[in-house]
């Protein structure tokens, strides 16, 4: 009989440019290490696959070591020599003994950048093999979807005062994805709509770059928008389509066209106003689809996840919409759970182990285009 409260999962997440490892025990996060590669990609204005791959390879052993140490776990098995997987420093373990402290290893298999995913999968596969523990593949988007469920060390999550209710609608807005998901329970998901081109965060970053705000400029653009007046006309995308899909490339192109043809001086006032105008169009597009999904599927709750959900104005707007419909909006409890992290991956694996449907294998393939099944 497995004790779910003590079941401990080491999780690895390398879907893009953050090298992440976490330890999740009984749904509670014991450690959550995120080593961001952002500064190494900044000069190129986006993630460079070769750099991401090299850094994941170099950093994974250290990040895992730190995650285990912070969780107070010292592994009881000494791996073969030449392995990148190493026991904790000072470990007195003997080769061949069973592992202490880690019951399974979970890893993101997609969606994401193939060379990045491959690094996490290779490391996790080696770890599972050496320590003879199950290897659990996890969908990165399910991680974002369940990030509100993740509990801190004390067992507190966004659901501490209430229980999740279904059906719910997940709204996942990040640098790589913009999705509306219908959730009827853990493991029961259907994709209602997604972006047809750029993701919302990607559009923020690209427009921020046009405004010389650096990389990734999304959070800086959002900060500028706070003090701006939306007095530039930027078109709301796809007003004639009545489905739940998104598109941000037209909006981005309109912003570029304006800046290239008018050549405005990038004064603080201009940037603030232009940022506010861009954000207004993005919010309009996001909320039109969200409202449509609520009307159509009558959810009991909304689950928000992904980097763009860090945006305070967007949270406020979403809460207001939810309140209007008498439903509750849930956000991850901790800032670190909003953006890419391994704790959400470990949590998803734990839920599936409990459900008894965690697929385990000693050989996994990366799935860069993995998605929820379409409705």
Q: Using CB under 5 A, which of the segments 22-30, 172-180, 256-264, 359-367 binds Zn ion?
A: 172-180
Q: Provide the terminal-to-terminal Cα distance of the chain, rounded to the nearest Å.
A: 37
Measured in degrees and rounded to the nearest 5, phi and psi for residue 197 equal -145, -105
* 204, interface contact from Zn ion, ligand KG4, none, CB < 5-8 Å by kind: ligand KG4
Q: Are 308 and 200 in contact (CB under 8 A)?
A: yes
List binders of ligand KG4 among 273-292 (CB under 6 A): none
Measured on CA atoms in the order 302, 305, 309, 310, is the torsion positive or negative? positive
Instruction: Decide: is 179 part of the binding site for Zn ion (CB under 5 A).
Output: no
Q: Which of 76, 193, 218, 237 binds ligand KG4 (CB under 6 A)?
A: 218
User: Is residue 219 involved in binding ligand KG4 (CB under 6 A)?
Assistant: yes
Which CB sits closer to ligand KG4, 46 or 134? 46
List, as one string, the DSSP characters of 23-41: EEETTEEEEEEEEE-HHHH
Q: Is 147 helix (H, G, I), strand (E, B) or coil?
A: coil
- Partner interacting with residue 201 (select from Zn ion, ligand KG4, none; CB below 5-8 Å by kind): ligand KG4
Residue carrying structure tokens 């182990």: 353
In whole angstroms, the minimum distance from the beta carbon of 189 to ligand KG4 comes to: 17
231: tokens are 């007095």
Q: Which of 8, 19, 310, 318 binds ligand KG4 (CB under 6 A)?
A: 310
Closest to 225 (Cα-Cα) out of 336, 314, 335: 314
* Pick 20 or 60: Cβ nearer Zn ion: 20
- Compute CA 273 distance to the chain's CA centroid, rounded to the nearest angstrom: 29
Distance CA 23, CA 73 (A): 9
CB of 307 to ligand KG4, least distance (A): 2
Q: Does the protein bind ligand KG4 through residue 175 (CB under 6 A)?
A: yes
| 3-class DSSP state of 109 | strand
**Sites for Zn ion among residues 337-366 (CB under 5 A):** 340
Among Zn ion, ligand KG4, none, residue 228 binds (CB under 5-8 Å by kind): none
Q: How far apart are CA 32 and CA 277, in angstroms?
A: 36
Rule CB under 6 A: which of 178-207 touch ligand KG4?
201-202, 204-205
DSSP β-bridge partners for residue 108: 138
Does 307 bind ligand KG4 (CB under 6 A)? Our answer is: yes
Token duo for residue 347: 């949590």
Phi, psi of 306 (to 5 degrees): 100, 155
Q: Select 104 or 286, whichever has its Cβ closest to ligand KG4.
A: 286
Of 77 and 279, the one with the shorter C-beta distance to ligand KG4 is: 279
Q: How far is CA 15 from the centre of its chain?
A: 9
Q: Does 13 bind Zn ion (CB under 5 A)?
A: no
Residue 170: what are its φ and ψ, rounded to 5°?
Answer: -95, 135
One of 13, 179, 340, 351 touching ligand KG4 (CB under 6 A): 340
Q: What character string, x for contact with ligand KG4 (CB under 6 A) and - otherwise, covers 47-86?
A: ----------------------------------------
Residues in contact with ligand KG4 by the rule CB under 6 A = 16, 174-176, 201-202, 204-205, 216, 218-219, 222, 306-308, 310-311, 339-340
Residues in contact with Zn ion by the rule CB under 5 A = 174, 340
């Amino acid at each position: 009989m497995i004790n779910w409260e003590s079941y401990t999962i080491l999780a690895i997440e390398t879907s893009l440019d953050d090298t992440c490892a976490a330890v999740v025990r009984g749904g509670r996060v014991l450690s959550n290490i995120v080593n961001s590669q952002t500064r190494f990609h900044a000069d190129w204005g986006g993630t460079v696959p070769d750099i991401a791959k090299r850094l994941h390879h170099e950093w994974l052993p250290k990040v895992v070591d730190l995650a285990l140490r912070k969780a107070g776990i010292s592994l009881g098995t000494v791996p073969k020599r030449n392995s990148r997987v190493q026991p904790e420093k000072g470990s007195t373990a003997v080769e061949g003994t069973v592992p202490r402290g880690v019951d399974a290893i979970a890893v993101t298999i997609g969606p994401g950048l193939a060379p990045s995913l491959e690094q996490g999968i290779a490391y996790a596969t080696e770890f599972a093999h050496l320590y003879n523990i199950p290897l659990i593949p996890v969908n990165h988007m399910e991680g974002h979807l369940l990030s509100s469920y993740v509990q801190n060390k004390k067992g507190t999550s966004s659901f501490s005062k209430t229980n999740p209710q279904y059906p719910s609608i997940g709204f996942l807005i990040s640098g790589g994805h913009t999705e509306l998901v219908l959730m009827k329970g853990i493991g029961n998901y259907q994709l209602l709509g997604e972006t047809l081109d750029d993701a919302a965060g990607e559009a923020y970053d690209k427009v921020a770059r046009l405004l010389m705000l650096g990389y990734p400029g999304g959070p800086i653009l959002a900060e500028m928008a706070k003090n701006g007046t939306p007095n530039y006309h930027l078109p709301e995308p796809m007003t004639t389509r009545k489905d739940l899909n998104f598109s941000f490339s037209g909006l981005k192109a309109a912003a570029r066209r304006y800046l290239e043809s008018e050549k405005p001086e990038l004064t603080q006032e201009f940037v603030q106003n232009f940022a506010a105008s861009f954000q207004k169009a993005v919010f309009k597009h996001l909320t039109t689809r969200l409202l449509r999904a609520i009307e159509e599927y009558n959810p009991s709750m909304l689950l928000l996840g992904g980097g763009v959900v860090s945006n305070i104005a967007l949270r406020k707007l979403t809460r207001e919409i939810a309140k209007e419909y008498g439903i509750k909006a849930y956000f991850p409890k901790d800032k670190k759970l909003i953006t890419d992290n391994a704790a959400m991956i470990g949590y998803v694996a734990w839920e599936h182990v409990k459900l008894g449907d965690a697929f385990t294998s000693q050989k996994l393939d990366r799935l860069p285009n993995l998605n929820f099944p379409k409705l």
